[in-house]
Amino acid sequence: MTTLTDDTLPVTPRAMRDEMIAFVLMALLLASVPFTGVYPFFVMQALCFALLACAFNLLIGYGGLLSFGHAMFLGTAGYCCAHALKVWALPPELGILVGIAAAFVLSLITGYISIRRQGIYFSMITLALSQLLYFIYLQAPFTHGEDGIQGIPQGRMFGVLDLSKPTVLYYVVLVGFLAGFLLIFRIINSPFGEVLKAIRENEPRAISLGYRTDQYKFLAFVLSGTLAGFAGALKVFVAQNASLTDVHWSMSGEVVLMTLVGGLGTIFGPVVGAFAIIAMQQYLAGFGQWVTVIQGAIFVICVLTFRRGVIGEIAHYFRRSL
């Protein structure tokens, strides 16, 4: 059986250099957004989803585990962060921490349950767990059901950064995204990341070399879920609401789609995929359910003809890892 990405290149100093150059270019490009007249709300939203997709990609691209329930981390962190800001009136930095902590605890529990099965079963279990949470949030009083938590105060971060100013908020979200991205980049290139890749390529061999593969996968799951929660907490400040759509299975599907379009197991792919899908939703917003049809068609086309994704194809063409 072929694995998800069949042409992983070894980590060499040159590859690392290429990736760092690409990272600096991306950071500069994103930092210049407020001066270009591009609608910052759109970019902020895309950045939150990009971080979510990167977190998801850590699990599928490097651990070989396809989670079909990553919306549960996004939504849980969003709800808890929103509740902390609005009801407990905590400052933004603590609100984000509450959201991350909630996603961390949730990923400990769901990881412990779902990691017991492999492959296709793992996907079904994560999907079922996120549906379980969806129904809980539908009925729990603190989420306000169908209405969601609305009118969330953005507040002042560290007492000085006024997040109700779009430019300030933009840079805070950008710094959050870049920090999360660098952390994932570091994880992938750490000895832990190398072991994960080994497990993805050939689990029995990794076991025979003495690695406790279940523990590695569990840790990858918790890291991925917690980072997804960070994305969910940031998204609260951008959208100023937390609602059931963030926990719905269709959101989990969108994350999968973003990563697939950009390239599973590539470093920059999820970012590109997230921007592409969010832009598409933005431009096609007037076409109602046809957006769903187009998303489905992109899934089909990607799986049948374009399995490496945009960045994966570019990297393959230039024989570089990106």
Residues that bind other proteins (CB under 8 A): 1-4, 60, 66, 68, 113-114, 116-121, 123-125, 127-129, 131-132, 135-136, 138-139, 249, 253, 256, 260, 288-293, 295-300, 302-304, 307
Q: What's the closest the beta carbon of residue 307 comes to other proteins, in angstroms?
A: 7
Residues listed for the chain: 322
Q: What's the closest the beta carbon of residue 292 comes to other proteins, in angstroms?
A: 4
Is 322:18 a contact under the CB 8 Å cutoff? Answer: yes
Contacts of 104 (CB under 8 A, 6+ apart): 222, 225, 226, 229
Q: What's the closest the beta carbon of residue 249 comes to other proteins, in angstroms?
A: 6
Rounded-to-integer distance, Cα 275 and Cα 296, Å? 17
Rounded-to-integer distance, Cα 107 and Cα 105, Å? 5
Indicate the residue among 36 and 305 with the shorter CB distance to other proteins: 305
| DSSP, residue by residue, 216-269 | HHHHHHHHHHHHHHHHHHHHHHHHS-B-GGGTSHHHHHHHHHHHHHH-TT-SSH
Q: What's the closest the beta carbon of residue 51 comes to other proteins, in angstroms?
A: 22
Q: Which of 61, 40, 55, 143 is nearest to 104 (CA)?
A: 55
Contacts of 288 (CB under 8 A, 6+ apart): none
Q: What's the closest the beta carbon of residue 305 comes to other proteins, in angstroms?
A: 9
Indicate the residue among 13 and 141 with the shorter CB distance to other proteins: 141
Q: What's the closest the beta carbon of residue 180 comes to other proteins, in angstroms?
A: 24
Indicate the residue among 98 and 115 with the shorter CB distance to other proteins: 115
Q: What's the closest the beta carbon of residue 123 comes to other proteins, in angstroms?
A: 6
Indicate the residue among 132 and 179 with the shorter CB distance to other proteins: 132
Contacts of 107 (CB under 8 A, 6+ apart): 73, 221, 222, 224, 225, 226, 229
Q: What's the closest the beta carbon of residue 294 comes to other proteins, in angstroms?
A: 8
Q: What's the closest the beta carbon of residue 116 comes to other proteins, in angstroms?
A: 4
Indicate the residue among 95 and 253 with the shorter CB distance to other proteins: 253
Indicate the residue among 42 and 249 with the shorter CB distance to other proteins: 249
Indicate the residue among 4 and 97 with the shorter CB distance to other proteins: 4
Indicate the residue among 97 and 291 with the shorter CB distance to other proteins: 291
Q: Which of 66, 64, 54, 70 is nearest to 4 (CA)?
A: 64
Rounded-to-integer distance, Cα 180 and Cα 188, Å? 12
Q: Which of 297, 293, 254 is nearest to 276 (CA)?
A: 254
Question: 149 — phi, psi (to 5°)?
Answer: -90, 120
Indicate the residue among 290 and 318 with the shorter CB distance to other proteins: 290
Q: What is the DSSP letter of 68?
A: S
Q: What is the DSSP letter of 69?
A: -
Rounded-to-integer distance, Cα 273 and Cα 279, Å? 10
